[in-house]
């Protein structure tokens, strides 16, 4: 199982840190110059045309987690998200 961490970065920081120096695999999925997988939750929600809601975030994360668990070559995953959980709409 890969090590997973969450980074709360602004969209501008994501652009600067990952899109510039990384390689896009698919919408929402980037590999940085060190080979580490980065996943943009807002980009996945936008591509799927899903609203910003706790339920839709949970559904996207579940799908992504099931996907990465099946790829043994992935050792580290960074979820990049500009909104900390405490500031999301619908957070209790």
Structure tokens belonging to residue 43:
């980009």
| Domain presence at residue 33 | yes
Average pLDDT over residues 2-27: 72
| Domain presence at residue 81 | yes
Task: State how many domains the chain has.
Answer: 1
Q: Which of 54, 23, 28 is nearest to 39 (CA)?
A: 28
Average pLDDT, rounded, for the chain = 76
Summarised one tens digit per residue, pLDDT across range 39-86 is: 888 889 999 999 888 899 889 888 888 888 887 777 677 777 666 556
| Domain presence at residue 91 | no
pTM, full prediction: 0.69
Q: What is the extent of the structural domain holding 63?
A: 3-85
Summarised one tens digit per residue, pLDDT across range 22-48 is: 788 888 888 887 777 888 888 899 999
Work out the pLDDT band at 91, boundaries 50, 70, 90: very low
């Amino acid at each position: 199982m890969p090590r997973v961490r969450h980074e709360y970065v602004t969209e501008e920081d994501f652009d600067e840190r990952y899109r510039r120096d990384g390689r896009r695999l698919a919408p929402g999925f980037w590999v940085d110059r060190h080979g580490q997988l980065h996943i943009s939750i807002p980009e996945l929600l936008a591509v799927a045309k899903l609203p910003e809601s706790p339920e839709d975030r949970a559904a996207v994360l579940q799908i992504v987690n099931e996907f990465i668990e099946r790829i043994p070559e992935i050792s580290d995953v960074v979820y990049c998200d500009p909104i900390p959980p405490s500031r999301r709409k619908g957070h209790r």
